[in-house]
Amino acid sequence: MSTVFTNAFIYAGGPAHRCIPDGAIVIDAGRIAWMGPAASRAPQAGEVVRDLGGKVVMPGMINTHAHGGLSLHRGCGDEGDLFEWAASLAPFTSTMTDEDNLLSTWMAVMEMVAHGITAACDCARYGAGLFSQVASTVGMRSVSGALANSPELRPNGKPNWPSALEETKDAMAARAGDGLSRFFLGAHSPYNCTPALLVEVKQAADDLGLPFAIHAAESRKEVQIVLERHGRRPIEHLHALGVLGEGAILAHCVWVQPHEIAMLAEAGAGVAHNPVSNGKLASGIAPIRDLRAAGVPVGLGTDSTLSNNSLNLFQEMKVAVLLQRTASLDGFALKATDALAMGTHEGARVLGWDDEIGTLEPGKAADFVVLDIDHPLGLTPGRVMSDIVYAAGPQHVREVVIAGRTVFRDGRFTQFDQDEIRARIKTRYGRN
116 close to 158: Cβ distance less than 8 angstroms: no
Cβ burial, residue 75 (10 Å; 0-12/13-18/19+): exposed
Widest CA span of the chain, in angstroms? 70
The residue (of 20 and 300) whose beta carbon lies closer to Zn ion is 300
CA distance 249 to 243: 11
Neighbours of 97 (CB within 10 A): 9
The residue (of 303 and 346) whose beta carbon lies closer to Zn ion is 303
Residue with smallest beta-carbon separation from Zn ion: 303
Neighbours of 409 (CB within 10 A): 14
The residue (of 25 and 82) whose beta carbon lies closer to Zn ion is 82
CA distance 147 to 205: 12
The residue (of 52 and 311) whose beta carbon lies closer to Zn ion is 311
The residue (of 6 and 309) whose beta carbon lies closer to Zn ion is 309
To the nearest whole angstrom, how small is the minimum distance from the Cβ of residue 253 to Zn ion? 12
Span 297-316, contacts to Zn ion by CB under 5 A: 303
To the nearest whole angstrom, how small is the minimum distance from the Cβ of residue 135 to Zn ion? 17
Name the nearest CA neighbour of 60 among 393, 350, 399. Answer: 399
Name the nearest CA neighbour of 344 among 60, 96, 123. Answer: 60
To the nearest whole angstrom, how small is the minimum distance from the Cβ of residue 145 to Zn ion? 12
The residue (of 303 and 338) whose beta carbon lies closer to Zn ion is 303
* Site residue total, Zn ion (CB under 5 A): 1
The residue (of 19 and 124) whose beta carbon lies closer to Zn ion is 124
Neighbours of 234 (CB within 10 A): 28
The residue (of 303 and 399) whose beta carbon lies closer to Zn ion is 303
The DSSP element (H or E) to which 429 belongs, if any, is none
To the nearest whole angstrom, how small is the minimum distance from the Cβ of residue 163 to Zn ion? 19
**Piece of the chain touching Zn ion by CB under 5 A; list 102-110, 112-120, 196-204, 296-304:** 296-304
To the nearest whole angstrom, how small is the minimum distance from the Cβ of residue 404 to Zn ion? 31
The residue (of 238 and 373) whose beta carbon lies closer to Zn ion is 238
Cα dihedral 104/116/189/226 (nearest 10): -130
116 close to 313: Cβ distance less than 8 angstroms: yes
To the nearest whole angstrom, how small is the minimum distance from the Cβ of residue 65 to Zn ion? 6
To the nearest whole angstrom, how small is the minimum distance from the Cβ of residue 327 to Zn ion? 21
The residue (of 125 and 237) whose beta carbon lies closer to Zn ion is 125
Cα dihedral 122/127/128/130 (nearest 10): -60
To the nearest whole angstrom, how small is the minimum distance from the Cβ of residue 213 to Zn ion? 10
Span 337-396, contacts to Zn ion by CB under 5 A: none
List, in sequence order, every residue forming a beta bridge with 62; answer none if it has no partner: 119
The DSSP element (H or E) to which 79 belongs, if any, is none
SS3 content of the chain, % helix, strand, coil (to 5): 40, 25, 40
Crossing angle for the helix pair 163-174 and 130-138, nearest 10 degrees?
20
CA distance 219 to 367: 34
To the nearest whole angstrom, how small is the minimum distance from the Cβ of residue 183 to Zn ion? 17
Return phi, psi of residue 62, to 5°. -120, 120
To the nearest whole angstrom, how small is the minimum distance from the Cβ of residue 67 to Zn ion? 6
Query: Where would I find the H helices in 115-219?
Result: 130-138, 163-174, 195-208
CA distance 379 to 391: 13
To the nearest whole angstrom, how small is the minimum distance from the Cβ of residue 262 to Zn ion? 24
The residue (of 8 and 70) whose beta carbon lies closer to Zn ion is 70
Q: Which residues bind Zn ion (CB under 5 A)?
A: 303
